[in-house]
Chain A
């Protein structure tokens, strides 16, 4: 069973969403609905499942409904119709009390503009989730300090958020989400407000933390490079519709429609594709010139071995980490994988 399951979720904003719903189900477009009824379609028949321990990135331009989608998972927004289940529990079946317990123990959230409490110190901010759960100060401060250390903010615990830089503030946000030790983390454009260098730094930190913690992360972003870097699976939203779900490679190699194509057009493929994705396997690779071979690991990205290939004009032999030969890469494979479709 998937960790998070979203089934046929519709969300319509306006006075009488249930009245407009049949129209949306009949396939009217977002613009038609807006013009005829004044309602805004947030999500249009979105279904997806997110597995335990993976990072699922939800991508789309602003207004595509990605922030709306993530808020359905912890029910900050109620769907107009459809079902959201987390670990097999339908979120819509929870009453107010259960919902509060569910938010306290099942998931935590990181916000685009950090959502920190300006009147609390870093330590109090990080311990907030635990405070809400009713933990005693000594206990929660201990956990909070551990998390502050894990995001590299020791020494700042008694500062207030507005005394910190943007990157540091988001680290506080991250530590706050980690402190409650929930299985699921929702990150709503968590790094979008940061400048590029710090963003890449934070991405790396998240990848490192994730390799250790193995949480289920739902990450929202409008930046394709970010989603390719972080995501095990990527879902692309357009105008409230989910247009494609797949691994980063699938998205790049087989974009589902023009919208996705436009998205992946400018991606540096050499940085995203790994040797094992583009190689032809041992059986297929008849007649490869094996006189001039260089060995590369199957997990290397193209841009890591491309310069070597160009300089030596050699073909590549792809091996796994035990040294077994898995396949070959010649100019032909390189050409077809790097050429934009």
Chain B
């Protein structure tokens, strides 16, 4: 049976391919009057013939139009929700007096890093320099932070469950891996621009872009982390009668945590990188300072804003990293990290 399955699959591929060629030929306006001409006039073997052209572009355009027309409400809903969240968060943080916000971040860092004074001092300096570099940067950094945080939350809420599903089921993994490859290799402008069409200008397409760009490493590392958990330990849980839920929450997730935390850290860094690129589609934030500097050929301005972005990255990195380290220290699995 298995042997035949393979051949059926191969012939399916072949049929699909042939159909594509036939569709390309029949829909092409450059095709010769009759198929027979192809046998008499062999010039088409020289240069790539114009009729051998897969009509993917009109197909995609139609699909995209349809998507916007028929599911516009759906995207509108997402847009309103995310935009509302972003606006509330941003207004709250911008509304706070800057010293209070600064102290809050430092206190957060202090507790999250397990009362690590060194990390806290470093983060405190970085936070102070955000505004110190240029007073305009403070509010812009808040905007950027809000976008990154919302994008990351979206990544966590979707990425971790997907990673878990992939680790559990080989078929799901085989189906999702190519999608992740696609998300990671496709140039970011290919989804930034459609993002505008779907969500309008501003913060939401940036969040969407962050999701597409930053979720793959999180999914991959969650999947990998769970699969790397010592088989004998998982077997022990099964032998004592753990059900799926107990196995996942009691054994697999805690032991996969170093990898998942690494994934979250990667996710943050990539989100920050994307939010700068997103300034090119009109997302407000520290990225547009860089853009402005480059447009005006003002190297100093661009560099200054670049430094602010690096500082922001350091803050995010330190906070997420040290949180991961703290959890690992608590669970005593630090020694077992395998990468």
For residue A116, which residues in chain B have a CB less than 8 angstroms away from its CB? 233, 236
| A132 lies within 8 A of B242 (CB) | yes
Cα separation A128 to B241 with both chains bound (whole Å): 10
With A and B bound together, what is the CA distance between A316 and B37 in angstroms? Answer: 110
A103/B336 in contact, CB under 8 A:
no
CB distance from B290 to the nearest CB of A (A): 43
Residue B91 CB within 8 A of the other chain = no
Q: Select A103's contact among B232, B240, B331, B335, beta carbons within 8 Å.
A: B240
Tell yes or no: B133 within 8 A of A by CB: no
Interface residues as binary, B214-239 with A (CB distance below 8 Å gives 1, 0 otherwise) = 00000000000000001011011111
B336 touches A162 (CB 8 A): yes
- Report Cα–Cα, A131/B242, bound state, in Å: 9
Inter-chain CA distance A141–B178, complex, in Å, is: 47
Q: Size band of the A side of the interface?
A: 20 to 34
Q: Is B240's CB under 8 angstroms from A119's CB?
A: no
Complex contacts, B246 vs chain A, CB 8 Å: 132
Closest approach, in angstroms, between the C-beta of A129 and any C-beta of chain B? 4
Q: Which residues of B contact A133 (CB under 8 A)?
A: 241
> In the complex, what's the smallest C-beta–C-beta distance from A17 to chain B, in angstroms?
12
Q: Which of B2-54 contact A (CB under 8 A)?
A: 2
CA of A129 to CA of B160 in the docked complex: distance in angstroms? 28
Q: How far is the CA of A289 from the CA of B179 in the complex (A)?
A: 90
Indicate if the CB atoms of A119 and B332 lie closer than 8 Å.
yes
**Complex contacts, A114 vs chain B, CB 8 Å:** 232
* Set of chain A residues within 8 Å of B239, measured between Cβ atoms: 74, 76, 103, 107-109, 186
Distance A214 CA – B246 CA, assembled complex (angstroms): 31
CB distance from B327 to the nearest CB of A (A): 10
CB pair A103–B238 under 8 Å, yes or no, is: yes
B2 touching A115 by the CB < 8 A rule? no
In the complex the two chains form, what is the Cα distance from A213 to B236 in whole Å? 22
A16 to B1, CA, bound (A): 9
Q: Check: A101 CB closer than 8 A to any chain B CB.
A: yes
B241 touches A117 (CB 8 A): no
Which of chain B's residues have a CB closer than 8 A to the CB of A266? Answer: none
Q: Kindly list chain A residues whose C-beta atoms are within 8 Å of the C-beta of B251.
A: 117
Query: B243–A111 contact, CB under 8 A?
Result: no
Q: Cβ of B241 and Cβ of A115 under 8 Å apart?
A: no
Name the residue of chain A whose CB is nearest to the CB of B247. A132
B78 part of interface (Cβ distance < 8 Å): no
Q: How far is the CB of B86 from chain A (nearest CB, A)?
A: 37
Which residues of B lie under 8 Å from residue A105 when comparing CB positions? 241
Of all chain A residues, the one with the shortest Cβ separation from B231 is A115
Contact of A132 among B232, B241, B332, B333 (CB under 8 A): B241
**Which residues of A lie under 8 Å from residue B235 when comparing CB positions?**
76, 111, 115
Q: 1/0 per position for A101-129, CB-CB distance to B under 8 A?
A: 11111011101111111110000000011
| A227 sits at the interface (CB 8 A) | no
Say yes or no for A169: interface residue by CB 8 A criterion: no
Q: Is A119 a contact partner of B331 (Cβ separation < 8 A)?
A: yes
Inter-chain contacts of A107 with B (CB < 8 A): 239
Q: Contacts of B250 on A, CB cut-off 8 Å? A: 117, 131
Chain B CB count within 10 A is highest, among A128, A131, A180, for A128
In the assembly, what is the distance between CA of A278 and CA of B251, in Å?
53
Number of residue pairs across A and B with beta carbons under 8 Å?
Answer: 74
Q: Which residues of A contact B242 (CB under 8 A)?
A: 100, 132
B255 CB-CB contact with A under 8 Å: yes
Indicate whether A115 sits within 8 Å of B236 (C-beta atoms), given known contacts A16-B1, A100-B241, A101-B241: yes
A119 contact from B236, B241, B243, B255, Cβ within 8 A: B255
Residues of B contacting A119 in the complex (Cβ-Cβ under 8 angstroms): 254-255, 331-333
Known: A118-B333, A119-B332, A162-B335. A108 touches B1 (CB 8 A): no
Contact B238 A76 (CB under 8 A): yes
Q: Which residue of A lies closest to B234 (CB)?
A: A115
Chain B residues near A16 (CB, 8 Å)?
1-2
Question: What is the bound-complex CA distance between A111 and B232, given in angstroms?
Answer: 8
Bound complex: CA of A132 vs CA of B242, how far in Å? 6
Q: Would you call B254 and A113 a contact (CB within 8 A)?
A: no
CB distance from B156 to the nearest CB of A (A): 21
Say whether A305 faces chain B, with CB atoms less than 8 Å apart.
no
Q: Does A257 contact B (CB under 8 A)?
A: no
B2 x A162 contact (CB < 8 A): no
Interface string of A68-85 (1 = CB under 8 A from B): 000000101000000000
User: Are the C-beta atoms of B240 and A109 separated by less than 8 Å?
Assistant: yes
The reply to whether B332 and A104 form a contact with Cβ atoms under 8 Å apart is no
Q: In the complex, what distance in Å separates the CA atom of A117 from the CA atom of B257?
A: 14
In the bound complex, what is the Cα–Cα distance between A101 and B243 (angstroms)? Answer: 10
CB neighbours of B331 from chain A (8 A): 118-119
Question: Which chain B positions have C-beta within 8 A of A156?
Answer: none
A109 to B246, CA, bound (A): 18
Encode B318-339 as 1/0 by CB contact (under 8 A) with A: 0000000000000111011000
**A132 CA to B243 CA in the complex, in Å?**
8
CA distance A129 to B332 in the complex (A): 21
Chain A positions 1-45 with a Cβ under 8 Å from a chain B Cβ? 15-16
A117 B233 Cβ-Cβ under 8 A? yes
Taken together as a complex, chains A and B put the C-alpha atoms of A180 and B236 apart, in Å, by 13
Across the A-B interface, the 8 shortest Cβ-Cβ residue pairs: A104-B241, A115-B236, A103-B241, A119-B331, A109-B239, A160-B332, A115-B232, A129-B240
Additional A-B contact list (14), CB under 8 Å, known A115-B235, A118-B332, A132-B242: A103-B239, A104-B240, A111-B235, A115-B233, A116-B233, A118-B336, A119-B331, A119-B332, A119-B333, A129-B240, A132-B237, A132-B246, A176-B240, A186-B239
- Seen from chain B, the residues whose Cβ lies within 8 Å of a Cβ on chain A are 1-2, 230, 232-233, 235-243, 246, 250-251, 254-255, 331-333, 335-336
- Chosen A-B contacts, 30 in total, with CB atoms closer than 8 Å, are A16-B2, A74-B239, A76-B239, A100-B241, A101-B241, A102-B241, A103-B241, A104-B240, A105-B241, A107-B239, A109-B240, A112-B232, A113-B232, A115-B230, A115-B232, A115-B235, A116-B233, A117-B233, A117-B236, A117-B250, A117-B251, A117-B255, A118-B333, A119-B255, A119-B331, A129-B240, A132-B241, A132-B246, A162-B335, A162-B336
